[in-house]
Every structure is written in C-alpha cells, then in structure tokens.
Amino acid sequence: MRLMTYVGMLICSTTVMLSVAAQATMLKLNLIPSSGIFQNPALTPDPGPPAVIATDPLAEGGTATMSSLVWGEPSDESGINPDLLQSSLVLTSYHEIALSADGSPEKISQLVHNNNVLNPAAATLLSAQILGALGLSSTDGPVTDVFVNHNTLGLIPLADLTLALLASPDVADDLVPVGEESTTLISLFNLAYNETLNDSVFCIFGNPRGSFCDDFFLLSTEGGFPAFIELLIDGLPHELLIYSSFDETGASAEPGPSYFTGENASTTLYTFVRLNPLSVPEPSGVLLIGFLLVLLASYRLSRYIRKR
C-alpha cells in the first residue's frame, strides 16, 4: 500500500510540473472580414479632388488587409513637394495574431500618415472613420466572461458594447457572425483631421514634429483608448491591453488622442496587444513546489525499496 502511495505522489508531483511547463496560454485574434478599413471621409467644402479609399484584403502575401485614404490637391509652391504627391493615411491590419500570456507585445496594425504640401485653396480632409473588428479565440479552451473597461461606464460585458456598435449606422449589422457578439471586439475610431496649410493662425497646438506647422489628427473611439479587456481563457483570468505606439517594438505607449506629422514627412503609428494572466500563482513558485514534491516522493520511494 505504501508503495502505491509513493508512486502516486511521484506521478502527481510530476504532473504538476509538466502542466506548468505546458502552461503557455494562447489567445488568437482574427481580423473580421470587411474590417480594418477607412470609411465615411468628409472634406472641406472647397473645390478640388474627392477623397479616395482603396482597400486590398490580401496585402503582404495575403496576411493583412491594407486600406488607404488619399486626399488633397498637391502643391509644390514651397519647393518641397516636386513629385506633387497627395496626402494620405495607409492602414495595414494583420489577419491573425497569436498571443502568449507573458506580457510580450504583438503588433496588430500600423497606420502611416504621409503629410504632403497641398493647395490651401482646394478641399482637404476634415474627418473619416476607421472600422476594425477582432474575433477572440483560444486553442487552450473557451474564451468567456469578456469585459471591457469603458472609460465612462466602467467594466461592461463585451457583448453589450458589440451590440451597441452593431446598432450604429456606421457598422454593418452582419459584420459579426451570429452568436459571436461576446467574443468579437469592434472598434469604430472617429478621425478628426487638422490640415494647417502652413498658416501660423492654425498652429496653436505647437509643432512637436519640428516642421513649420505640423498637421495632426485626433482618434477617439467608444469606450476609450488604450483599451483594457478582462477575460477568462479556459476558466483562468487574463487581461488584454490594446495600445498605440510610435515605437516599432511596442516598448512605449502613446496616450493620444492627437498624433502629429511634420510637413512633407511621414509618421507610423503602431497598434499592439499584450496578454497577461491575472491572480495566477507565479510559475516559478509552482515549479518549485512540484520539484520538492518529486524529491520527497523519490526519497520515500527509495527508502521503501531499501527496506524491502
């Protein structure tokens, strides 16, 4: 009987260590089709070319959706836009992101602002929207109890926010598959653009990018940004953080909501996600306990065998 007890201890303690070693919680983020796009651009009432949106759902070898918004009548009056390029915003959203619960940042999109010199008498961009949607899933088990930390309402179920956005005229009511409202995160960013046209009267917000008169845009979304999301993956609590950064590694967060670009220059704003466990014992501590249990079981088993 004692032999079975010692063997049982050894098996149980080894199982603890193996389960911790294999505990690499994975969350998958999948871009919902027809999202990751610009929509609803509005221009000033001046004459000039219309804003143009172009979308490629199979960019970067089919791994991303690229949506571009181009506007303005180019000018080389200042001598710094000889190629007569329009201004543009180019959004690249990646189709699938796999996240480990170790807090490491993973890039989910990037937004490039190409700020070129435009004719001040022609129509320029006033506003637009960015529509994004991500499905949450995991190979470790079901994703449940997903809550979003809303900046005014506090912690609310993701399904409530998703259903509210699906009721908006700016979001197609069939964007989210039926029954997946509680695991689909919709982001509807309102973009307000400020074209300074190198007029000092409009440079009241300063020039953090160092040109004569930096242009900038503001991004705002329902619930606020950065986004904090709490969820259970196979019954274990985690926190998902979605934030923006000018750092390609995601090491720093950009608070927003204003993002500046110097004249005749480009800036790239990246969006990252991080997944962290909540209220879970430190793996090193659990491994130590498991290791001690293995030693104890091995010691008792060896003593039992010697006595026999």
Phi and psi for 270 in degrees, rounded to 5? -100, 150
Distance CA 175, CA 114 (A): 30
The mean pLDDT value of the chain amounts to 83
Long-range contacts of 16-22 (CB under 8 A, 24+ apart): 16/286, 16/289, 16/290, 16/293, 17/287, 17/290, 17/291, 17/294, 20/283, 20/286, 20/287, 20/290, 21/287
Per residue in 151-201, pLDDT tens? 889 999 999 999 999 999 999 999 998 999 999 999 999 999 987 766 656
| Confidence label for 226 from pLDDT (cuts 50, 70 and 90) | very high
Has residue 237 got a pLDDT over 50?
A: yes
Residues in the chain, total: 308
| Confidence label for 258 from pLDDT (cuts 50, 70 and 90) | confident
Distance CA 275, CA 180 (A): 21
The residue-averaged pLDDT of 17-34 equals 71
Short-list 133, 260, 153, CA closest to 209: 260
The residue-averaged pLDDT of 86-113 equals 96
Q: How large is the greatest C-alpha to C-alpha distance in the chain, in angstroms?
A: 99
| Confidence label for 127 from pLDDT (cuts 50, 70 and 90) | very high
Residue corresponding to tokens 């759902």: 57
Tokens of 2: 């004692």
Distance CA 15, CA 48 (A): 70
Distance CA 201, CA 199 (A): 5
Q: Is the separation of the CB atoms in 302 and 296 below 8 Å? A: no
Distance CA 40, CA 136 (A): 27
Helix (H, G, I), strand (E, B) or coil at 291: helix
Residue corresponding to tokens 């993701």: 158
Has residue 8 got a pLDDT over 80?
A: no
The predicted pLDDT at position 302 comes to 57
Residue 261 or residue 155, greater confidence: 155
Radius of gyration, alpha carbons of the chain: 26
